[in-house]
Structure 1
């Protein structure tokens, strides 16, 4: 039987959103710890599934407590669960993320959130030289049906050193290379949710294979690791 996200998880997060203060949370902390335990089981089951077809060396389940030191929003608690799964570096690049939040705000994401300046330049240079392979990946019908297209930040015109008239400027000007798939509450609570998440993550592999090769070689295809 597949591990599932329970309705109780959403109920607690909704209540926390309405009562986002320490006294309420401390009063309901036993409920939180019980829910958190079940959520950890779910995330670890995702980790196990990922390692059946990938090499993931770390799961990081983010804490419920917010860092409010530099934020105008002083609410002390997050109203969602989030966890990331890191592929084993340096050979394998990219990562997975699972976000559980009520009111149809849950999603999975994958790709490159904040590539280093060196990685970003290497990716852009690859696209400048030849974007055929990445475009073939992006236009694959099975891939598009699950993941759609890139989302994330980009520069307005062209990065320094690149022509705004380049045929692949739509790719070159991106600063993030992310894919996102959203879920309704009903989909998250469904017993098949864990299978859908794993299947969707597995479908990203052609993209990860390509990007891992790019980021572990120079423009001549020579390994840098």
Structure 2
């Protein structure tokens, strides 16, 4: 099956699921999920894998064992290519449309320390600044959890203090409800965006390369 874009029915499905996140709704509309969400994501993944590697399509079920929110299903569908522990490229479909991005999303102490050290280092930090600035100029948005205060051990007037505050470094681009998301052409947009984000992923890989493996995998 070739990727043909995301059907309108996929967006409608998640709109409705947000309103009625129950097992009875899911079972009554599972065929819509299978045909309009699961199959397009499988086809998209197959098209991206030759260049980027194995794509993980996330399960639609929420882990509610320790959550206050007991709604059973995710109200979005995501897929991810890992470039290392807790970093890589992603694409997501939700009631807000399609979004793509890449970065580092898990802030364990060892990895976060290594990334902050690389950001602060004048031999490596300026390269990240250039990568982020270039991506922002081309329409990507810098996001991710960050401190409101100065991280311990760093000066408030550090030239890259804004990046040092980040506990996650994620750059993404929303395509929302643009007509292109319903066509095969969105594959080209996703592939081009992932290529554009590769310098960010490469920088992050190098930043954590010296962290012992037993500390990088949690």
Q: TM-score, normalized by length of structure 1?
A: 0.79
1:192 aligns to 2:191 (yes or no): no
Structure of higher CA gyration radius: 1
Q: Deviations over 1:153-193 (max 9, x none)?
A: 22222222222232222221211111111122234213311
- Structure 2: distance between partners of 1:174 and 1:200: 22
> For residue 161 of structure 1, what is the aligned residue in structure 2?
153
- Structure 2: distance between partners of 1:173 and 1:109: 20
1:36 deviation in Å?
4.2
- Give the length in aligned residue pairs: 207
Matches within 5 A, 1:67-82: 67-82=63-78
Q: Deviations over 1:6-56 (max 9, x none)?
A: 1222222223333322223223333333334423323423532xx32x4x2
> For residue 110 of structure 1, what is the aligned residue in structure 2?
102
RMSD: 2.5
- Structure 1: distance between partners of 2:38 and 2:145: 34
> For residue 27 of structure 2, what is the aligned residue in structure 1?
26
> For residue 144 of structure 1, what is the aligned residue in structure 2?
137
Matches within 5 A, 1:174-189: 174-186=166-178, 187-189=180-182
1:143 deviation in Å?
5.8
Q: TM-score, normalized by length of structure 2?
A: 0.81
> For residue 6 of structure 2, what is the aligned residue in structure 1?
5
**Conservation of the 8 A alpha-carbon contact between 1:47 and 1:85:** no
Matches within 5 A, 1:41-120: 41-48=42-49, 51-52=50-51, 54=52, 56=53, 58-87=54-83, 89=84, 94-102=87-95, 104-120=96-112
In the alignment, structure 1 segments of 5+ residues that lack a partner are 219-225
Q: Deviations over 1:77-118 (max 9, x none)?
A: 22221121112x58xx8301111012x343112100014312
SS at match of 1:204: helix
